[in-house]
Structure 1
Amino acid sequence: KEGREIAAIHKNMIVKIPMTAEGLKATKVLSKEGIKTNVTFALLIHMEL
């Protein structure tokens, strides 16, 4: 829903979606609707010294 609202603001809007299982599902749905998406990836590394 939020992705559609963002895309409706302007034809050049790109919806930024986190790379999670749910985010990838949303990307697939939005892409089928012709909505541009950008998937972001964050890698967290926890190290113990």
Structure 2
Amino acid sequence: MRLSARGYHRVLRVARTLADLDNSDKIGRLHLAEALSYRALAEDVRQLA
């Protein structure tokens, strides 16, 4: 996905939030996958606008 350092940090923050909502102490693969999917969705919306 060619993430910059800033983009990587943002994805990790979203994944941490998702893990918190799951009451998980650690960020799991599903949390990261969901965070990345939100980023991909946002890019698609940005391109359509």
TM-score, normalization: structure 1?
0.35
Is the strand fraction higher in 1 or 2? 1
| Bigger CA radius of gyration | 1
Is the helix fraction higher in 1 or 2? 2
TM-score, normalization: structure 2?
0.35
